[in-house]
Chains A and B, each alone.
Chain A
Amino acid sequence: MAFFEQHIHDAPTTFLSKYVISFDHKVIGKQFLWYGILFLGIGGMMALMIRWTLAFPGEPFPVVGHFLFPNTNGVVPPDTYAMLFTLHGTIMIFYAITPILIGAFGNFCIPLMIGARDMVFPTLNMLSFWLAVLSAVILLVSLFTPLGGAAGGWVSYPTLSTLIGSPGIGQTLWCLAIFVLGVSSTMGAINYIATIITLRAPGMGYFDMPLTVWGLWLTAVLNALFLPVLGAGVLLLIFDRVFGTTFFLAGAAATTGSGDPVLFQHVFWIFGHPEVYILILPAWGIVSDLLAFFSRKPAFGARATALSMTSITVLSTVVYGHHMYTTQMSPLLTQSFMMLTMTISIPSAIFFANWLGTLWKGSIRFQTPMLFSLGVVFVFGLGGLTGLYLATVSTDLYLHDTYFVVGHFHYTMAASVLLGGFAATYFWFPKMFGRMLNETLGKIHFWISMVGLNGVFMGMMIVGYAGMHRRIYNPFVYEFLQKLIPLNMFITYSAIFMGFGQLFFVANFVYSIWKGPKATQNPWEVGTLEWTIPSPAPHYNFDVIPVVKCGPHEMGNPNLNGRDFQYQTEELA
């Protein structure tokens, strides 16, 4: 027996071994999906509270306000506001997007798409999920500690995050939660890297892998390299807070010796910049695949797309300084970082052009996953272009820490990734649960989300350009910002509209799991390996390990008879 065939164990029978302590990559993927969607809801509610405060300062938050904030008659208090934006960022990045894109679709898609029966380290996989749960519990517990949860921003810069800035235990628990989550994600990354290197089906070279797998693999590499950097940072912060070390304390804050608060910023962004690519790379891969599948054409320049994603991965490690132009960095350094950052636009432009090339003259099917993928093309284009203003030192000095930054990174990290995640959910739902999601509800969900999020994030960029700073409880105490009240109200209404649209998704998702129409083996008519097996994917995926004979997007070939796609297991027509 060759190694890639993997032993087949009996299917688990008890509830505990089947759904809770499962070693099966498909079940772990679904667990991560539920986990991510739960936190997406929590983070989204927090976003609505932030938006409410900014549009209607001093007015009680509707419906649940009186229950949540009884001391202030339902108005979000300033300290809670700081906690809300801190935890909104933390939860969305580490507990919603990471589990959905990397945890859920990484686990579910990698073995299926490369023709493997499971991950190489199933136990590590199981531990990775349960450590993520432990981390989530720590984070949620921190909300109920005497002084509340962390409130120093999701970046937790000292001195705000030291004992002087946040004396409560909430910040310590935040650091601990992030550390545990880092361990969990690193475990996942080790698993993904080893699986993709060793378990590709016979005949599948690296360029025969679907681009989804490319994206996930590059993400795993960045995760394994840079999460430990953040781990070291929060570990030192924990030591500063618990054992009285002085790494990040300086000036009057330090009783003896002297640390350096800016050191944390360096450490944070050495991790933090790769992190934004950790979040976006899986979405890029998924979109590159889906655009080809629904245009019924081979992906234009698939090899170039894969290579430009790789070069972005490499470049992403050397540009972190553009987050710190205002920390009195030497001009020589800021200019170097500016140039390196601008360099990223070359590979980005290459794969973006490839996306457009894929769409060009395709016979496009506007099904829900395709709509979401096209949405990603639009919002990522906008997000990428506005990034140029922030990479340039001269414009960044003005725009730094304004809502322009918030709008920009929400376009790239939130809107693109969220739409990419939804595209993936609509696309792989049949293979996950064996049923189809409702197309009409999906399309309503798409249009509401698309209009809503553009209203929110475009509005944010405008108010930011007008000078409104982020993280201020009530910006309208400043006279020059009072004219922005109507625009802020528009943003908030857009956010509420978008939040309302998600109800369609939740209803559709929950209903379709049990009551949706049964999915056929290959509902989207595409040729990658996961569609050669029944829906939902059976225990241990493949009866016989497939032999790969062509690339993942061989579609619309005139030599094909009767259908316009071919499976990866078939000789190229």
Chain B
Amino acid sequence: MTNLATKNLSENEKGEEIVSSIGMIVALVSFAMLFATLMMGFAMFRFTAPVWPPAGMVKPSLVLPGLSTFFIFLSSISFIWFEKNIANKKGLIFTIILGLAFMFTQSLLWHQLKSVGVLTSSGIYPSIIYTFTWIHAAHIVVALGFLVWLLVVVLKETNTKALLRASSVGKFWHFLGIVWFIMFLTIFVL
């Protein structure tokens, strides 16, 4: 078993662990503030509009966003499985595949919206759907890059350094999953 909880760390490695978690947590707080600001703007539009969605729009069907949610949920689960023992790379590969599936359902969603004539310029509700999913997807693309990089790292060696990297990338990936879940609930379901 190669995982952070059971491994005996040296003084120096303990320092590395603390530093990388502080760095990642502060970074995630920053990202959270970005998404919180978007959500605040959304809340303002939502609560001041007499009817929602406004201007006679209808909400898009829940099928594609639901599939996205399902994929990203599974990907987080498989990453947790991978973190239990990073010598076993299957979990990481599943995470990457599920992340790609998430991006695929997202692009299907954009395509579907476009095909029924809902464009970015069609009012505030489509503006919110497109912009928020784009910004989130941009983060997912970056995170997928990190996941692939992590795969290269663990294929080479599975020492403490690799464990720390897995833990940092994992925090980012789970964070994006949570953000997506909040967006799914507030934009598409409620």
Contacts and interface: CB of A to CB of B under 8 A. Distances in A.
Contacts of A256: 55, 121-123
Interface stretch (B34-42, B154-162, B174-182): B34-42
Interface residues of B, number: 39
Interface string A214-226: 0000000000111
B60 to A, nearest CB: 16
A247 B40 CA distance: 12
Interface stretch (A193-201, A304-312, A346-354): A193-201
Contacts of B41: 232, 236, 247, 263, 267
Interface in A226-240: 226-229, 231-233, 235-236, 239
A3 interface: yes
Contacts of A186: 27, 30
Interface in B11-35: 11-12, 14-16, 18-19, 22-23, 26-27, 29-31, 33-35
B156 to A, nearest CB: 19
Contacts of A263: 41, 44-45
B30 A232 contact: no
A120 B120 contact: no
B112 interface: no
A239 B121 contact: no
A258 B12 contact: no
Nearest to B22: A194
A245 B120 contact: yes
B127 interface: yes
B19 A120 contact: yes
A4 interface: yes
Nearest to B131: A239
A14 interface: no
A257 B22 contact: no
A3 B11 contact: yes
B123 A190 contact: no
A39 B183 CA distance: 40
Nearest to A238: B131
B108 interface: no
Contacts of B141: none
B145 interface: no
A228 B34 contact: yes
Nearest to B38: A232
Given A198-B18, A246-B124, A224 B44 contact: no
A244 B131 contact: no
A190 B30 contact: yes
Given A225-B33, A232-B34, A245 B19 contact: no
A63 interface: no
A21 B68 CA distance: 41
A257 B123 contact: yes
A564 interface: no
Among A4, A198, A256, which residue has the most Cβ atoms of chain B within 10 A? A256
A244 B40 CA distance: 21
B135 interface: yes
Interface centre among B33, B55, B123 (most CB of A within 10 A): B33
A64 interface: no
B186 to A, nearest CB: 16
Contact of A257 (B33, B122, B131): B122
A198 B22 CA distance: 9
Nearest to B45: A260
A149 B160 CA distance: 50
Contacts of B131: 235-236, 239, 243, 245, 247
A557 to B, nearest CB: 35
Nearest to A221: B26
B182 to A, nearest CB: 15
Contact of B22 (A124, A193, A266): A193
B15 A4 contact: yes
A233 to B, nearest CB: 7
21 contacts: A3-B14, A190-B26, A190-B27, A194-B19, A194-B26, A198-B15, A228-B31, A228-B33, A231-B34, A232-B35, A232-B38, A232-B41, A239-B134, A243-B121, A243-B131, A245-B120, A245-B126, A247-B127, A257-B54, A266-B44, A267-B37
Interface of B: 11-12, 14-16, 18-19, 22-23, 26-27, 29-31, 33-35, 37-38, 40-41, 44-45, 48, 54-55, 119-127, 130-131, 134-135
Interface of A: 1-4, 120-121, 124, 186, 189-191, 193-194, 197-198, 224-229, 231-233, 235-236, 239, 243-247, 255-260, 263, 266-267, 270
Nearest first, the 9 closest Cβ-Cβ pairs linking A and B are A3-B15, A257-B123, A244-B121, A245-B127, A232-B37, A228-B34, A228-B33, A257-B124, A243-B120
